[in-house]
Structures are given as structure tokens and as C-alpha cells.
Homo-oligomer: A and B are copies of this chain.
Amino acid sequence: MTQTLSIKTSQKLNLSPLSMPNRLLLGPGPSNSHPDVLKAMNTSPVGHLDPTFLHLMDEIQSLLRYVWQTDNAMTIAVSGTGTAAMEATIANSVEPGDVVLIGVMGYFGNRLVDMAGRYGADVRSITKPWGQVFSLDEIKAAMETHRPRILALVHAETSTGARQPMEGVSELCEKYGTLLLIDTVTSLGGTPIYLDEWGVDLAYSCSQKGLGCPPGASPFTMSRKAMEKLLNRSTKVKNWYLDMNLLGKYWGSERVYHHTAPINMYYALREALRLIAEEGIENCWQRHQKNVEYLWESLESIGLKMHVEKQYRLPTLTTVCIPEGVDGKAVARKLLDEHNVEVGGGLGELAGKVWRVGLMGYNSRPESVDRLVSVLKEVLK
């Protein structure tokens, strides 16, 4: 041991054991986790090359394919939160100079623009007012103009609660030799997704919304076509942590060490996926739809309006218009401080105009709706 210099203690805190409030999380995520999921996470970790852990990784891969309805071999959980999985799709698909066409209908479309630019893409974008979605004709026109190498769409825009229909998009991509990349952060587990049927080449999501798991390990998938582009790159992926060439050797049969996985997060994710398989993914989607319809009716019954046109609303996340004269931020703060209920505020174009109400995963239950509406009524009166 080298000589001990004197120890600075100015940053040393004397803390009590952790004590956090028990919130009902009805914002845009994280949502509350199923108690069994938390319990699984509380298991002592094994090593990241332990045969039992490698087996658990296989289970996660299979179940992610099931919930996403894909057979993509390269389907894994990235060791970070949803944004890391988002960056993984960009980092592994974009080479400098690639034309990337991005549909921006909210905050996360803009984030894709920023990210793709950092990886050297020639970014083109089309935009919609926040809360609306693109028609197939609009996408078609942009594809004809830009002939992109990659088309990136946000299936579920977490900032607006709008669901982008995917029907017909893959035919356009096929015509132009375009890879299709979609954001399913707020749709996975909560609303129908058929990655293979939709011809999706790259997708990402998170654990803490429709899957009902704490944040920290995030679904990523890429098709064989996307893998081919990766294998034929002339430059290394500009991100070591998220390089699927390397990660594929850890998740695949070679089992080459890449990084120390967040073991307990994988325990939790495995458990969350197990519970969804037990329920059946189609039942899980139906549960989300049924409960959100109950939410919409209940909110309308106390005079509130939804921001997004009904047919494009997500079952997982609803943007609720803040009535004129009401201080939305103050209401949200009161819900949190006085009632332990979290709802989210608006971002960007919708800042100050909407609350974002999530009914995701374990929280998609009639009791969540009843509690929210009851406390909201009280705070708004």
C-alpha cells in the first residue's frame, strides 16, 4: 500500500440507510415494477461468464424475440437504459455519409437527428406537429426525394403519446434498398408490434415501460440485412461499448468476454419477460388497451381532453390537455408531494400544454386509473 496522505473529508456524508417514498409512477416512465421482478433483482449476482448466467442470457434473447415478434438472431439487451439501445441502432447502422431519413413528430425524433449526425450521417428529416403522425403518402414522397440508406421512424413517440402506423412502410424500404429503424421504447409490451411482418431491420426499446422492469437493461434487435451492412463496414463502429460485432461474440456461441454485464438488471428483465410470456403477449396488449380506454373515459368524465386523435393514441402513454387557466406544473407537483402519484409534464412543443400519463406494464390496471382520477379531481377542484 502506498503511503497514506491525509484524507480529505469535506465530501464525506454521514447518511442513514436508504429510504425512498412509495410512488405510483404514472408518468412516461419508469413505471412501477411487478413485485416478483424486484424480488428477482434482489438475488446475489453470479459472474458474467457463469454458465447459469449465460443460460439466462439465452432466455432473455428468446423472450425478447417473442415480445417483439421477430426471429432476428441478433436480439439482445444492451447494458444501459433505452437511450443506450437507441444509440446502439444508430452506431451500428450508420457509416459516415449515409443518407438517413428521420421522421420527427416529437422529442425522440429530434434525438435521433442529433445522434445520427454525431455518427456522420447525412441527415434528412420530415416533420409533423407534435401529436400527429405521418401518412404513408408523406413517407413515400420523402423516400422518393431522399432515397435514404436508412429510414428511422418513432413507432411510439414518448413525448406526444402518438403511434405511427407501420403498414406499408416496409414495401417502400424494399423498393429503395433502405433499412428500416424504429423506436419502440414506449410500445414494446404494451401495443401490437410485429417486427418481422413489418420488415423492421433495427429496433430498440427499454425495460421500464411496457415490460414492467426497472430501467438499466434495454432491448436491441437487428435483422440479417442490418447485420450484413455492419459486417461490410469499411470503418469500425464508433462506439466500443455498443459495438454489435463485439457484443455478438458475447451473446452468441463464442461467449467472448466484452464487459461485465449488469447482472441483477438481467435477472429483473428475465423475470419481467417471463411474466409477459405467462400472460401471453396478445393478452398483455389487450390489457393495456382496455385499461387505457378506461383512463380516457374517466378523464373525459371529469372534463379533460386528450391531445392525440383517438385512432393514433398509444395504449401506454396518453397526453392530456392541461385546461386553460390551470398551472400544470403545480398540479403535477401536488400529485407527487401530497398523493405520491407521478405524472409527467410536456416536452418541447407540448411543454406547459399537456400532462403525460403512463399506464405501462404492471401499472396498466384499473386501480391505477381510479387512484389517478380520484386524486386529480381533488387537486383540480
Contact = CB atoms under 8 A, between A and B. Distances in A.
Contact of A289 (B1, B41, B268): B1
B50 A32 contact: no
A81 interface: yes
Interface in A170-214: 191-192, 194, 196-197, 206, 208, 214
Given A17-B274, A79-B81, A23 B1 contact: no
B265 A262 contact: yes
A119 B197 CA distance: 37
Contacts of A237: 118
A81 B261 contact: yes
Given A5-B197, A66-B9, A118-B237, A42 B42 contact: yes
Given A79-B216, A240-B115, A264 B41 contact: yes
Contacts of A32: 44-45
A247 to B, nearest CB: 11
A330 interface: no
B20 A63 contact: no
A106 to B, nearest CB: 14
B83 A259 contact: yes
A82 interface: yes
Interface of A: 1-5, 7-15, 17-18, 20-23, 25, 27, 29-30, 32-33, 36, 38-48, 50-53, 56, 59, 62-63, 65-66, 69, 71, 79-84, 87, 111, 114-115, 117-119, 165, 167, 191-192, 194, 196-197, 206, 208, 214-216, 236-241, 257-265, 267-268, 270-271, 274, 277-278, 280-282, 285-286, 289, 315, 336, 342, 347
B45 A17 contact: no
Contacts of A7: 69, 280-282
B42 A33 contact: no
Contact of A52 (B3, B20, B66, B261): B20
Contacts of A117: 236
A118 B239 contact: yes
Question: Most chain-B CB neighbours within 10 Å: which of A9, A13, A264?
Answer: A264
Contacts of A285: 1, 4
Contacts of A62: 11-13
A277 B81 contact: no
A260 B30 CA distance: 7
Given A1-B192, A2-B192, A191-B1, A46 B23 contact: yes
B206 A260 contact: yes
14 contacts: A1-B315, A5-B192, A11-B65, A17-B40, A23-B47, A27-B47, A32-B45, A38-B43, A38-B264, A51-B336, A82-B259, A83-B259, A84-B84, A117-B236
A27 B49 CA distance: 11
B65 A277 contact: no
A167 B165 CA distance: 61
